[in-house]
Amino acid sequence: MDEDNLKMLVKLTQGGQFSSLTKHMKTCGLMEVARDKHFGRSGDTLAHYAARHGHLDILEFLIKEVGTDVEVYNNDYKRLLHEAASMGHLACVRYLLQEGAQVDSLKKADWTPLMMACTRRNLDVIRELIEHSADPLLRNKDGWNAFHIACREGDPLVVHFLLEVAPDVWRSKSKTCRTPLHTAAMHGCEEVVGILLERCDYTPDEKDSCGVTPFMDAVRNGHISLARILLEKHQASATASDILGVQPVHQVAVTGQEEALRFLVRELHVDVNQRATGLQLTSLHYAAKEGHVSTLKTLLELGADLHVEDKKGRTALHMACIGQHAEAARTLLQLGLKDSQDASGTTARQLAKKSDIMKVFECS
């Protein structure tokens, strides 16, 4: 088959050029190819392209005239309904359902068209699927249902609608025990969090399999106003620990969220030198290991102890060198932290593997 003709088929379909496409097919005798051909690594058919781009006239032609199967799938097992739903093309979704498309067909990783629709803020498409008996309680391979996905995207109208049609949909947890509240908090969806706290009976400080709470998700991603909502309306704890004994004050140091640090220490009076259980690391250790120079300075402004050691006798300078962060090591030395031996007799300098870190010690 002429490669140029095949490329032209795809181009005309993606561009929605119906008359040119049908003419090209008939002139070049490509009707059978248009029905059966899977293109590229994805294995998409022309019907996939039409559904994805919302070209209803082409989609209808391919199914009715060319004979493309409404359940044809690509290499990810995506059906045409997945494509139309994921891009929010209501007319195509409606047509495919009328033609008998399976409403809860599964693509790779067990995603349904409804889940795909919930990645978009298109209530009309979601309502159409629900009215054709799509099941919002189905879960994908990670244990997420459509409600988890809607809470991640943060559209209050979609969240309200799903709670109306499936009042218990909020009770589902992912395979890592994360609730939709965790998801909404992590992504900073304040309106959705408000809805969840008002309409759903979540336990305060419910933990996922790593011991992370929704409050932790909020602050370590810098969503301070949302964290306040969890404190005020859900009695969240600002000092809860995950399974490693790490508290929010440590987590925000890891992610370099300096305003969240100020919020925890100045407003909530969390001890900036609080140690995580286990290795007894402080926020200063965590920030140094991640190489967050500005965060190190903020911690010191908030009263962090520059010379504090962990359970193994390591200072923040050791951690900066473990992380191979030259600028963090330089900053700590400039602030007055001297190199020292840990409990095993190892100095921070001995942990340096990169030449730029070694030069820091040579110049100090």
Q: What is the mean pLDDT of residues 170-194?
A: 98
Q: What would the CATH number be for the domain defined by 244-364?
A: 1.25.40.20
In 3D, which of 96, 52, 100 has the Cα closest to residue 76?
A: 52
Phi, psi angle pair for 39, to nearest 5°: -105, 140
Give 304-334 pLDDT, tens digit per residue: 999 999 999 999 999 999 999 999 999 999 9
Contact 118, 126 (CB under 8 A): yes
CA distance 157 to 177: 25
Contact 346, 313 (CB under 8 A): no
Residue type at position 269? H
pTM above 0.85, yes or no: yes
Give 140-162 pLDDT, tens digit per residue: 999 999 999 999 999 999 999 99
CATH 1.20.1560.10 fits 1-172+190-200, yes or no: no
Kindly state the tokens that stand for 266: 């100045």
Task: Give ∠ CA 72-78-79 in degrees, rounded to 5.
Answer: 40
Residues whose CB is less than 8 angstroms from the CB of residue 201 and which lie 6 or more positions away in sequence, other chains included:
none
Give 44-75 pLDDT, tens digit per residue: 999 999 999 999 999 999 999 999 999 999 99
CA distance 43 to 98: 25
Q: What is the mean pLDDT of residues 182-205?
A: 98
| Between residues 94 and 31, the one the model is more confident about | 94
Q: Which H or E run contains 259? A: helix 258-262
Residue range(s) occupied by CATH 1.25.40.20 in the chain: 1-172+190-200, 244-364
